[in-house]
């Protein structure tokens, strides 16, 4: 079984991903892959430099994420431009990792894809778990975690699909407003109902 795990920024999806790993489930992590495809010397990084200028590359040859972030946040055209460079490379690597895990005998593979709905990748998976959180808690967690003003936090939250829309597209929802134990209990119930084994 291929399970898609998604949520929104600061919803606590990474926490659920870590719990799944601790239970022995193999996780294909889109964020991790996104970092790997822009490593110094990679064709994707070269493409970013050509498209956005060499100020996006630090002196050590790595991607200047802060600069690129400033450029694309709140700018739909630039963001789409960046996504069209990065996303195809991420997808190829994600599918390749999934196939490898299945060949190695995994029963269930978790595909941790933050922008699963935004990128229309539902066809990559058989079931979808959405990690959800109330807007108030989400905003507060994001401000605390990334040391952002309320305004900055709202811009980042609004760059993603609203939480309730994601919930509608889910096969199961974990409401991550309480304790980690509470969220883990919800996860256990989902895994049990789906008969999901690592």
72-76, 109-113, 152-156, 164-168, range with the lowest pLDDT = 72-76
The whole-angstrom separation of Cα 142 and Cα 147 is 8
92 and 133 both lie in a single domain:
no
48 and 72 both lie in a single domain:
yes
The confidence band for 118, taking pLDDT boundaries of 50, 70 and 90, is: confident
For residue 49, count other CB atoms closer than 10 A to its CB.
14
Domain boundary among 105, 127, 162: 105
Q: 28 or 119: whose pLDDT is higher?
A: 28
Q: Determine the structural domain holding residue 135 and report its residue range.
A: 1-26+107-198
Q: What is the pLDDT of residue 160?
A: 87
Q: How far is CA 82 from CA 43, 72, 85, 134, 177, in A?
A: 14, 8, 5, 29, 32
| Residues with Cβ within 8 Å of residue 15, at least 6 apart in sequence | 176, 180, 183
77 and 151 both lie in a single domain:
no
Q: What is the CATH number of the domain that holds 140?
A: 3.40.50.300
Inform me whether the pLDDT recorded for 184 exceeds 90.
yes
DSSP annotation of 160 reads S
Over residues 69-105, the pLDDT tens digits come to: 999 988 989 999 998 999 999 999 999 999 999 999 9
The whole-angstrom separation of Cα 37 and Cα 107 is 27
The whole-angstrom separation of Cα 29 and Cα 17 is 9
Residue with tokens 């991550």: 176
128 and 150 both lie in a single domain:
yes
43 and 65 both lie in a single domain:
yes
Domain boundary among 105, 128, 149: 105
Max Cα–Cα distance, the chain, nearest Å: 51
Strand partners, 6: 130
Q: What is the pLDDT of residue 196?
A: 97
20 and 46 both lie in a single domain:
no
Q: Which two tokens stand for residue 29?
A: 């992590």
Over residues 5-23, the pLDDT tens digits come to: 999 999 999 999 999 999 9
Question: What one-character-per-residue DSSP string does 91-155 give?
Answer: HHHHHHHHHHHHHTT-S-EEEE-TTTTTTT-GGG-SEEEEEE--HHHHHHHHHHHHT--HHHHHH
The whole-angstrom separation of Cα 163 and Cα 174 is 12
123 and 194 both lie in a single domain:
yes
197 and 160 both lie in a single domain:
yes
Domain boundary among 79, 105, 131: 105
16 and 112 both lie in a single domain:
yes
68 and 88 both lie in a single domain:
yes
The whole-angstrom separation of Cα 165 and Cα 97 is 28
| Residues with Cβ within 8 Å of residue 157, at least 6 apart in sequence | 8, 9, 10, 135, 138, 139, 142
């Amino acid at each position: 079984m291929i399970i898609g795990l998604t949520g929104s920024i600061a919803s606590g999806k990474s926490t659920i991903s870590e719990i799944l790993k601790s239970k022995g489930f193999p996780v294909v992590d889109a964020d991790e892959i996104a970092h790997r495809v822009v490593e110094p010397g990679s064709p994707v990084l070269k493409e970013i430099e050509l498209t956005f200028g060499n100020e996006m590359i630090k002196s050590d040859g790595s991607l200047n994420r802060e600069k690129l972030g400033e450029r694309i946040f709140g700018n739909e055209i630039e963001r789409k431009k960046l996504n069209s460079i990065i996303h195809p490379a991420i997808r190829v690597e994600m599918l390749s990792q999934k196939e490898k895990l299945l060949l190695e005998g995994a029963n269930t593979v978790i595909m941790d894809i933050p922008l699963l709905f935004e990128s229309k990748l539902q066809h990559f998976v058989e079931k979808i778990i959405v990690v959800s959180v109330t807007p108030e808690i989400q905003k507060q967690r994001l401000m605390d975690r990334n040391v952002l003003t309320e305004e900055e936090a709202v811009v980042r939250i609004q760059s993603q699909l609203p939480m309730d829309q994601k919930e509608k597209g889910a096969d199961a929802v974990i409401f991550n407003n309480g304790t980690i134990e509470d969220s883990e209990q919800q996860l256990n119930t989902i895994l049990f109902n789906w008969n999901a084994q690592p």
